[in-house]
Homo-oligomer: A and B are copies of this chain.
């Protein structure tokens, strides 16, 4: 009996998928740098042996992802995609599911727990003064220290992200803000903005700031952990 070759899986990529992948490969092989010109649609169509409609659709995708820009009178050029930009366009809390939102909130806790070394490495006198002002304003306007205020939370923590000097992190924080605002409007936070903290050991923004002034990354992490205690509690208890 004739030995049969195994039947392999059918290639399910669409023609546009293939052209998209092929173009990316072509950019890499040619080591394109931002600003380098890209062949015209009609030329690509001829080289690739596919219709202009297919090429156009693939180019549109790459443009949406940020690899291509069209310049007036200059045609298309290659560019380095902005890694946060696409993220930004889809991070709309009202369109994301509960699991995704939870996962993003956890990510925020992880980032704030993990950034201490960068804060101590890059903090300046001016940064500490700015934090001092944020905390003082907060103290002057808060009668009840256990009431949660989103604005003050954002002012203080946003400044910390800024001190980290990591731009990806900062922009990630910026675009997560609507997610947090959305979450804080839910359940536990709905109760007139009041959140009953779980223990007397709660660390305030003032204590975090003092720690950043005279402590170490190690002591700061422990203080931040206590500061975030209500959020950790909420996540680990809702399992």
Q: Which residues of A contact B (CB under 8 A)?
A: 24, 27-28, 31-32, 34, 57, 60-61, 64-67, 80-81, 83, 86-87, 89-92, 94-97, 99-100, 103-104, 106-107, 109-118, 121, 164, 166-169, 217-218, 221-222, 225, 232, 236
A28: B residues at CB distance < 8 A: 92, 94-95
A86 to chain B, nearest CB (A): 4
Question: Would B96 and A83 count as touching, CB distance under 8 A?
Answer: yes
Question: Would A80 and B100 count as touching, CB distance under 8 A?
Answer: yes
- What are 13 contact pairs spanning A and B, CB under 8 A? A28-B94, A28-B95, A34-B97, A64-B64, A80-B97, A83-B87, A99-B167, A103-B169, A110-B111, A110-B114, A110-B118, A113-B114, A117-B232
Taken together as a complex, chains A and B put the C-alpha atoms of A60 and B92 apart, in Å, by 19
Question: Would B225 and A117 count as touching, CB distance under 8 A?
Answer: yes
Question: Would A90 and B67 count as touching, CB distance under 8 A?
Answer: yes
A116: B residues at CB distance < 8 A: 113
Taken together as a complex, chains A and B put the C-alpha atoms of A83 and B225 apart, in Å, by 27
Taken together as a complex, chains A and B put the C-alpha atoms of A95 and B82 apart, in Å, by 11
For A65, give its contact among B90, B115, B169 (CB under 8 Å).
B90
A99: B residues at CB distance < 8 A: 167
A89: B residues at CB distance < 8 A: 65
Question: Would B217 and A121 count as touching, CB distance under 8 A?
Answer: no
Given contacts A87-B87, A111-B111, A111-B114, contact A106 B65 (CB under 8 A): no
A83: B residues at CB distance < 8 A: 87, 90-91, 96, 100, 104
For A114, give its contact among B81, B100, B109 (CB under 8 Å).
B109
A67: B residues at CB distance < 8 A: 90, 95
A199 to chain B, nearest CB (A): 16
A223 to chain B, nearest CB (A): 11
A169: B residues at CB distance < 8 A: 103, 106-107, 110
A31: B residues at CB distance < 8 A: 94
